[in-house]
Amino acid sequence: MQKLFYPAVFHTAEEGGFWITFPDLPECMTQGEDMQSAYEMAVEALGLALTERKKEKQEIPVPSQPYDIALSAKECCVIIEFDMLAYQKRTNSKAVKKTLTIPEWLNEEALSLGLNFSQVLQEALLQKIMN
């Protein structure tokens, strides 16, 4: 679950700008003064809703098909892209201490090369996650 794409309904606000809802995530709503700020706010709102569901071990819904969403004349459907990994990197960079065991010979070789164990582990984990 790296990149997710959810349809959002951009409703034209009477006072200008947009208010945004997500048919698949009824708890997820936001607004923006113009299309750009509305889109940016929609990405953030989607991120908050999905990460909260993930944290609470709730179901992450399958996105609706955009053509299945009924719209009025003052509404449009916009697909919002959300990158879970990028969001987590940006919002949760708290370091967590891990203890691990490696063979002595591997430790000695890594030390002789001046490798940073934390950096190597992070890079390896990211490579595994991205594949």
**Could you read off the pLDDT of 44-58 as tens digits, one per residue?**
999 999 989 988 999
Domains and CATH numbers, the chain: 3-91 (3.30.160.250), 95-131 (no CATH)
Residues of the chain whose pLDDT is less than 50?
A: none
Residue found under tokens 């996105």:
63
- Tell me what pLDDT residue 1 has: 54
Question: Are the C-beta atoms of 128 and 120 separated by less than 8 Å?
Answer: no
Longest dimension (CA), the chain: 69
CA dist 37 and 48 (Å) reads 16
CA dist 16 and 107 (Å) reads 62
**Could you read off the pLDDT of 105-118 as tens digits, one per residue?**
999 999 999 999 98
